[in-house]
Amino acid sequence: MTAQPAFDGFFKESVRFFENLKKDNDKDWFALHKGDFEDHVMAPARDFVYEMGKRLREMSPGIIADPRVDKSIFRVFRDTRFSADKSPYKTHLGIFFWEGWLPKMECPGFYFHLEPPDLMLGVGVYRFSPPLLAEYRDSVVDPKHGPDLAKALQRIRKRGGYEIGIKHYKKTPRGFDPDHKNADLLLHNGLTAAVSCKIPEELYSRDIIEYCFKAFQDMSSLHQWLLRMISRVVGRAGASGAQCRRGRGECSR
């Protein structure tokens, strides 16, 4: 059995690749530097997924960390069909570790976003599907789940430096009291916590695992609240974990 390569951080070239891609975002340039992309971006990204997944499972045993493209590692190619921006490539590295019994993007998870000169770490669900949005709104005003959410967010805010996002609606949804103490949360169509900073020196060593883990741990109260929320949706749908699960388990090479 082949041993898993040790993860020793990303490279300076990982950052330089995206800096250069921003300047020359076209297919010819990317084809010429495809080897650099594989060696300096994808190779350390796969190792990071493996190691970060192991660390996160110590906190949330159900975390899915799958080092394939379109699993934990988002693809670099942009979908330009409905965008005025026809640049073919993303100029960032996005990695997602998720948990739950629904398709990946409907589940809460932990997100790593490297876009020079910044690093962003986030937790949550970026956009709720219609069933989750309905459950979210009911939960926000529920006499038990609503206060639990307020406490979860307060714990994150007390850590300092974290932002709760992102408001989408300008008015309280129809049928809900605009004077409810949690009415502000009804303006969301997704719920996240995030922190951004200039790329830390830890990125270039194994220390980035603990650096990210600390931030993810600071925001984990939101992850756990959202996980309980989707479990209620799944439970009411009568779906078992085995029926709804998407790729749960240890990641492999």
Alpha-carbon torsion angle 50, 8, 118, 69, nearest 10: -30
Q: Is the residue at 197 inside a domain?
A: yes
Tokens of 236: 């009411």
Tens digits of residue pLDDT in 126-145: 999 999 999 999 999 999 99
Tens digits of residue pLDDT in 171-195: 999 999 999 999 999 999 999 999 9
Residue found by looking up tokens 């599907």 in the block? 129
Q: Is the residue at 182 inside a domain?
A: yes
Q: What is the pTM of this model?
A: 0.91
pLDDT at residue 3, rounded to an integer: 56
> The CATH number of the domain where 171 resides is what?
3.30.930.20
pLDDT at residue 4, rounded to an integer: 60
3-state secondary structure 112-126: EEEECCEEEEEEEEC
Q: Is the residue at 253 inside a domain?
A: no
Phi, psi of 193 (to 5 degrees): -125, 145
- The C-alpha R_g of the chain, in whole angstroms, comes to 19
Q: Is the residue at 1 inside a domain?
A: no
Which residues of the chain register pLDDT less than 70?
1-5, 238-253
Q: Is the residue at 6 inside a domain?
A: no
Is the separation of the CB atoms in 105 and 128 below 8 Å? no
Residues spanned by the domain of 39: 12-244
- DSSP lists the bridge partners of residue 93 as 114
Is the separation of the CB atoms in 62 and 35 below 8 Å? no
pLDDT at residue 80, rounded to an integer: 83
Is the separation of the CB atoms in 169 and 189 below 8 Å? yes
Q: Is the residue at 115 inside a domain?
A: yes
- Distance between CA atoms of 253 and 198, rounded to whole angstroms? 31
Tens digits of residue pLDDT in 225-246: 999 999 999 887 764 444 344 4
Domain tally, the chain:
1
